[in-house]
Structure 1
Amino acid sequence: MSVLRKYTVLAPVSLSIALLVASCSDNKVSQCQRLIRVVNAGTSLIDKSKGTQVITSIQLSKDLDFVTKSIAELKLKDPKLKEFQSGFVKIFQNLSQAIAKAGKALGATKTAQASESGREKIQKARAEIDSALTTATTLGKQSDTLVNQMNKYCSEPE
C-alpha cells in the first residue's frame, strides 16, 4: 500500500473515530475541542500536501471535502461556535474547490502539445493556477482570522 493511499484511508478513519469519541460531552470546552480538532485535521492535510503533484492536489481536494462534511456534521449547541463552524465550512469548501481547480489546470499543462494551441492551453492553465493560489491565500488569511477569534472565544471562561 502506497504512503498516499495509506493517508487517504487513515485521515478519514481517524477523524471519524475522534469525532465519535469526542461527541459524548456537550459543554463549551468540549465543543471547542471538537471543532478545533477537525479544523486542525484539515489544516494538517494542507500542510502535508504543499507543493505536490496533480494527483496529490486532486486527492487533497477530496480530503478537504471530507473535512468540510465533518465540520458541518458537528452537533454544536453553542451559538457562537455554530458561527465559527459555518465559517470554517465555507473556507474549507472554497479551498477544496480552488485546489481542485489548480490540480486540473496543472494536469492540463502536462498534456499540452508543443504548438500554438498547446501554449494557449498552458497560458490558460497558468492563469487558473494563479487565480486558485490567490483564492487560497485569501482563504488562508480568513481562516487565520477565524482561528484567532475562535481561540479567543474558547479560552474565555463559561
Structure 2
Amino acid sequence: MSVLHKYSVLAPVSLSIALLITSCSEDKVSQCQRLIRVVNAGTSLIDQNKGTQVITSIQLSKDLEFVTKSIGELNLTDPKLKEFQSGFVKIFQNLSQAIAKAGKALGATKTAQASASGREKIQKARAEIDSTLTTAATTVGKQSDTLVNQMNKYCNEPE
C-alpha cells in the first residue's frame, strides 16, 4: 500500500470521526430548541383539547404521559437545562394525572341513572372535576409560566 493511498483512506475516516464528535456535543442553543419543541408540543395538545369529552380527556392524559416521557428522554447535558427538564416532567405528570382523574369523574356522570342518587353522583363528579381541574390548572399554570420565563431567559443568554 502506498503512502499516498494510506493518507487518502485516513483523511476521510479522520474527518468523519471529527464530524461525529462535534455533532454529538450539542451546544446550549440546540438543547434549548429541543426542549422547547417538546414542551410546545405538550402545550399545544392541551390547547387543542380544552373542554373535551371523557374519551378525549383520557386520550389527552395518555398523550401528556407520552410528552412527559419524551421530555425525560431528551438526554440534555447542560446542567441548567436538566433542571428545566425535570421541572417540565413534573408539570406534565401532574397535569396528566389531573386530566385523567377529571376524565374518570366525567365518565361516572355518563353512567348515572335518572334518580336522586344519580343526580347526587353527577353533582359530586362535577365538583370533583371542577376542583381537580381548577386546582391543577392554577398550580401547573403558574409553575409552567415561571419555568418558561426562566428557561427563555437562560436560553437567550450568550454562551
Please, what TM-score do these two structures have when normalized by structure 1?
0.82
User: Secondary structure at the residue paired with 1:61?
Assistant: helix
Distance change in 2, residues 1:60/1:77 (3 Å): same
Corresponding residue number in structure 2 for 1:30: 30
**How many Å apart are 1:24 and its aligned residue?**
5.2
Q: Which amino acid aligns with 1:28?
A: K
Please, what TM-score do these two structures have when normalized by structure 2?
0.81
> Which residues in structure 2 correspond to 1:144-155 (within 5 Å)?
144-155=145-156
Corresponding residue number in structure 1 for 2:41: 41
User: Secondary structure at the residue paired with 1:76?
Assistant: coil
Distance change in 2, residues 1:29/1:133 (3 Å): same
Question: Are 1:52 and 2:52 an aligned pair?
Answer: yes
What is the rounded CA distance, in whole Å, between the counterparts of 1:25 and 1:105 in structure 2? 47
CA deviation vs aligned residue, 1:49-95 (integer Å, no higher than 9, x gap) = 01111111110000000000000011011111010000000000000
Corresponding residue number in structure 2 for 1:93: 93
**How many Å apart are 1:97 and its aligned residue?**
0.4
When structure 1 is superposed on structure 2, of 131-140 and 42-51 the one drifting more is 131-140
**C-alpha RMSD over aligned residues:** 1.3
Q: Which amino acid aligns with 1:67?
A: V
Q: Which amino acid aligns with 2:108?
A: A
**How many Å apart are 1:145 and its aligned residue?**
1.2
Decide which structure has the larger Cα Rg and report it. Answer: 2
Q: Unpaired runs of 5+ in structure 1?
A: 1-22
User: Secondary structure at the residue paired with 1:114?
Assistant: coil
Q: Tell me the percent identity.
A: 90
Q: Which runs of 4+ in 1 moved over 4 A?
A: none
**How many Å apart are 1:130 and its aligned residue?**
1.3
When structure 1 is superposed on structure 2, of 107-116 and 57-66 the one drifting more is 107-116
Corresponding residue number in structure 2 for 1:138: 139
Distance change in 2, residues 1:74/1:120 (3 Å): same
What is the rounded CA distance, in whole Å, between the counterparts of 1:26 and 1:123 in structure 2? 53
Q: Unpaired runs of 5+ in structure 2?
A: 1-22
What is the rounded CA distance, in whole Å, between the counterparts of 1:62 and 1:131 in structure 2? 21
What is the rounded CA distance, in whole Å, between the counterparts of 2:25 and 2:43 in structure 1? 24
What is the rounded CA distance, in whole Å, between the counterparts of 1:115 and 1:25 in structure 2? 64
Q: Which amino acid aligns with 1:136?
A: A
> Which residues in structure 2 correspond to 1:71-110 (within 5 Å)?
71-110=71-110
When structure 1 is superposed on structure 2, of 23-32 and 75-84 the one drifting more is 23-32
**How many Å apart are 1:123 and its aligned residue?**
2.0
